[in-house]
Every structure is written in structure tokens, then in C-alpha cells.
Amino acid sequence: MDRRILDAFRAVLSSSGLITEASELKTYECDGLTNFRVVPAAVLLPESSEQVQAVVRICHQHKIPFVARGSGTGLSGGALPVANGVVLSLARMSRTLEVDIPNQRVTVEPGAINAFITQQVAPYGYFYAPDPSSQQVCSIGGNVAENSGGAHCLKYGFTTTHVLGMDVVLPDGELVHLGSSTLDSPGYDLAGVFVGSEGTLGVATRIILRIVKRPEVITTLLAAFNSTNEAGEAVSDVIASGVLPAAIEMMDNLAIQAAEASVHAGYPNCGGLLLVELDGTATEVETLMHQVNDICTRRGAWEIRLAHSEAERIVVWKGRKAAFAAMGRISPNYIVQDGVVPRTALPQIMNEIARLSRESGLRVANVFHAGDGNLHPLVLYDRRITGQEHLAEQVAGDILRLCIKAGGSITGEHGVGEEKKMFMGEMFAEPDLDTMQLVRCAFDPEHLANPGKVFPRLRLCAEKTGPYTPHPLELAGVAEFF
């Protein structure tokens, strides 16, 4: 990178905010998806909104692509650097700016850690609802980029439900405010569009979050079934009965074995394990939990445990939360997938995944959010065996195709990023993708923000925009536009 440009960055950030040393840059070459690696030209560590704005202006002036990055826990290569581009690490912007308990809002900088939000508001009886499994380390800025989910999104919604407003530095360096701390602000819902845009529309530098009152009672039921099909039928019955659980999670035998080997969760050794969490008032949870218990028994559950206290719940959840990392105990390498199917298609998709596993000779462990049909198949393989990585990628890809065929999605919460952009063309038709990119053209016509991600190919944006016609009220001097 041109020395003069680096000097310009240094002038904004001082030397401590600029990384150019090759060995240090390597830290940033990938995110949680480690099979894609690119070393960036520089890493910038701004400490304020103004600094983000200043460095983005420099990028814009010199047409340098930039990739914003939080904690780097993403699983789709969304924070993969661009060669000759810079990485904008928001790690130093992690302050809490405001806690407003009566209005149930918390304002943070993008580098703030997800779990820390809950820690701060817990004394007042509140929590921050989106709970990706990486919540102990992942940042809110990253959650915003990916529209992160988590087990409890079934009832509480995804990151987008909990982001009310944001300060965003646009790719040309302009600072704008999207959304508001109040609801329904006039105009297009640009905050809704920005959340989940995977860093391609700009950089959020201040985020207003909604927090949720902690329910009076939370109870988790663990049920052991002979197969995931039986467990799946229990899920259908629970949903049909009109109960909306806070979470419904399922694991198959291979996933249980891995969790046992890793964190000794004490799960029963069964073919299909179900976790159903209910929350609400004591009376409500008690009554509904009886119903869920009866449904599970009727559907063949041979062991049921109830976790009431926080300590008991932590034990029950331990194996599930550790499931991805636990795969390392039973396989040298694995690919995590993130497909979604309509919930009723789960049994069929499970059979198909089993078939793919048989045909390829690769083991596939299954962990999923059964309530909303979000699958996390883990394709296990050994990189040292020639051809196995390629085969595993094929199996993972075929699973996504099955999800598309079933009317689902290629990603429920991990994002498209670098990894799945080629599948976008299988899920959507060309006009669909072209239309989405109109949004990109409105925010980032020069494709400087995280270029090359999400979409299989770029749509060129019309450079010149038409003249602005003033509103008659404006001409009459009645209204002013700001």
C-alpha cells in the first residue's frame, strides 16, 4: 500500500491504531471460517466514530476496499479481508454509551461483546435476547452485520428485532443515523435493511439496542428419544398445541457423543435429544410444561429431565452450546452448515442427510434449532486423507441444495459471506439478486464496503443519478429538508 496513504491513516489513528507488520496482519487473515484466508494490506483500529469516518473518507478518496471486523467469530467468511484492502477492526470501540432501563434501551459501540450487554442489565432484571453460541466473545457490530440469531430467537426474534437505531458511516465517509430510539421513525426502514447486510453497506459506530425483561420463570425440559424422527414429531405436536417455547433444540446421537466427550454434559445416550425451554409467569410455565411433558411421553421419550434453577439449566444447555467445538473430539476437521427448511420438512431432510452421509462415507452430526427448522449439520472429515476435504465440501453443498429444494434457505444465522455466495444464484433468480443490489447501489455505488461478499456477481450501479425535483411544499417555503 502506498506510503502516503498509510501516513494518512497514521495521522488519524496514531501508530498504535495502525498495523502493517506482516506477522501481525496474519491475525486478521480469516474469521471463524478458517479455510478462506487473505492477508490485508493494513489493519486499522479506530477508537471513535470520528476516526472511523476519517479513515473511511481516506479509503473512499483512494478507492481502497475495507472490511469491518468485530471479534472475528463469523462462520461464513464475512470478515475475510480483501487483498490490497484494509481491515477496520472495531475492537477498541466497545464502550456502553447509555443504559436506559425505564425505556428498555442500551446504546453501545460496535465492539461491545454480546454477553456483556446482558451482564450490565441483569441487575435490573433484564437481558439482551439474541444469543448466538459465541455470545461470550462475539461483538454487537458483528451481530448487526450478520443479523445473528441463537437458540432463543424462536420466541424473541433475531438481532434485527432488537436493533432500534444506529449511527452508520457510509462508504463515502458520511455519518448518518438510521432508525431511532423511538419506533416507526418516518422514512424507509434503513436500519432494517442495514442489519444483516454483512458489512456491505457501511460501518455501524453506535447501536441502540432493545433489552427484554427477564421472565419470572424459565424451565428447560430435556427428553431422550430413540430417533430424531420421534423427537421431530414431538416438536410438531408442541407447536400444534399452540405453545410458543423460548427455544426448541435437537441433537442427534453423533452430536451427543461429541458433546459428552468434550464437556461431559451427562446427556442420555439416545438417537434424538430434545431441549424445550419455556418461560413466562410461574403458573403459565407450570401448566404448559405439563402439556409438553405429556406430548414427549406420548411420542416415545424414555427419559425426561426438568431443569428449574439457573444452575440446572446451565448443565442442560452446556452440551448444546459446546456442540460445534466438541466436534474436534470426534473428528480432526468438520464443516458447519446453516441451512433452513420449513419445520415440517425436518424428518424428510434428516433422511436425505443420512443418505448423503451413507453415500459419501462421511459422518454428519446434526445439531439444530428444531423450532424454526434451522439445521446445523456438521460434516466430519480428515484433511490429511486426499480428496476428503473436497468431498466434505460437496456434501455440505448438497445439504444446502436440499434446503433450497424444500423451500428453505441457505443460511439462517451465519450469513452468506464468502462461503455461500455461489449458492445465492441457486436460491434466488437473477432479477431477485439484481433487485437486492439496488440497495447496495444506494449505499455503496463504488463497492468499497466488504466487496465480493454475499452476491455471486456484482451489479454495476448507474453512476449518475437524476436531478432532484423539489417538493412543491419546499418550493413554497412551507417545508424545509435537512
Partner 1 sequence: MAGISTRSRPIPWNELERIASTAEAAEADAICGRVPKFIVEPSTAEQVAAVLRWANENSVALAARGNGTKPGWGAAPRELDVVVSMRKMNRVIEHAWGDMTTTVEPGCTVADLQRTLAEHGQRLAVEPLFGGHATIGGIVAANDNGPSRVRFGSLRDLIIGVTLALPDGTLARSGGKVVKNVAGYDLPKLATGSLGTLGIITQAIFRLHPLPQTERTLTFQFETIAAANQAALALLDSVLTFTGLQLRSSGPSLCTLDVRFEGIENAVEDQARRAGRMVGNLLPAEAGQWQSSTALWDESPGSICRFSVLPSEIAPFLDRAQSLAEPLAVRTRAVVQAVGVGLLRLDGPTDALLRTIRELRQLAAVRHGSVVVLHASGELRSQLDPWGEVGTALGTMRRMKQQFDPKGILNPGRFVGGI
- Between 424 and 453, how does the x/- string for binding to partner 1 read (CB under 8 A)? x--xxx-xxxxxx-xxxxxx----------
List the one residue from 77, 215, 245, 272 that touches partner 1 (CB under 8 A).
215
List the one residue from 252, 260, 413, 419 that touches partner 1 (CB under 8 A).
413
> 17 or 165, CB closer to partner 1?
165
Q: Which of residues 324-383 bind partner 1 (CB under 8 A)?
A: 340-344, 369, 372-374
DSSP element (H, E) containing 138: none
Looking at beta carbons, which pairs linking 357-360 to residues 24 or more positions away fall under 8 Å? 357/395, 360/391, 360/392, 360/394, 360/395
> 45 or 208, CB closer to partner 1?
208
> 96 or 236, CB closer to partner 1?
236
Q: Which of residues 285-304 bind partner 1 (CB under 8 A)?
A: 287-288
Q: Report in angstroms the alpha-carbon separations of 406 from 342, 364, 395, 399.
A: 7, 19, 17, 11
- Rounded distance between C-alpha atoms, residue 52 and residue 46, angstroms: 6
* Alpha helices per DSSP H over 63-209: 114-121, 140-146, 153-156, 159-162, 190-194
Binding range to partner 1, per CB under 8 A, among 26-34, 176-184, 310-318, 357-365: 176-184
Residue 337: CB minimum distance to partner 1, A: 13
For residue 29, state whether it binds partner 1 (rule: CB under 8 A): no
Residue 320: CB minimum distance to partner 1, A: 17
Q: Are 226 and 299 within 8 A, CB to CB?
A: no
- Rounded distance between C-alpha atoms, residue 129 and residue 481, angstroms: 37
> 111 or 202, CB closer to partner 1?
202
For residue 104, state whether it binds partner 1 (rule: CB under 8 A): yes
Looking at beta carbons, which pairs linking 432-440 to residues 24 or more positions away fall under 8 Å? 433/459, 434/459, 437/461, 439/193, 439/197, 439/201, 440/200, 440/201
Q: Report in angstroms the alpha-carbon separations of 266 from 225, 256, 319, 378, 415.
A: 15, 9, 8, 21, 32
List the one residue from 21, 188, 261, 385 that touches partner 1 (CB under 8 A).
188
List the one residue from 146, 230, 233, 419 that touches partner 1 (CB under 8 A).
146
Helix/strand number for the chain, H first, E second? 18, 18
Residue 436: CB minimum distance to partner 1, A: 4
For residue 49, state whether it binds partner 1 (rule: CB under 8 A): no
Total residues at the site for partner 1 (CB under 8 A)?
108
Binding range to partner 1, per CB under 8 A, among 214-222, 248-256, 310-318, 328-336: 214-222
> 86 or 323, CB closer to partner 1?
323
List the one residue from 240, 384, 386, 463 that touches partner 1 (CB under 8 A).
240
For residue 157, state whether it binds partner 1 (rule: CB under 8 A): yes
Residue 398: CB minimum distance to partner 1, A: 17
Q: Are 343 and 231 within 8 A, CB to CB?
A: no
Q: Please list, in sequence order, all residues whose beta carbon lies within 8 angstroms of the beta carbon of residue 346, skipping any fewer than 6 positions away.
A: 228, 232, 235, 368, 370, 373, 375
Binding range to partner 1, per CB under 8 A, among 6-14, 47-55, 115-123, 210-218: 210-218
CB atoms within 10 A of CB 294: 12
Q: Report in angstroms the alpha-carbon separations of 303 from 232, 268, 312, 358.
A: 16, 8, 16, 29
- Rounded distance between C-alpha atoms, residue 32 and residue 296, angstroms: 36
Binding range to partner 1, per CB under 8 A, among 24-32, 35-43, 390-398, 411-419: 411-419
List the one residue from 284, 389, 393, 446 that touches partner 1 (CB under 8 A).
284
Residue 343: CB minimum distance to partner 1, A: 5
For residue 39, state whether it binds partner 1 (rule: CB under 8 A): no
List phi, psi (to 5°) of 404: -60, -45
* Residue that the C-alpha cell 491475525 belongs to: 27
Sign of CA dihedral 130, 136, 141, 147: negative
Residue 361: CB minimum distance to partner 1, A: 30
> 40 or 339, CB closer to partner 1?
339
> 334 or 455, CB closer to partner 1?
455
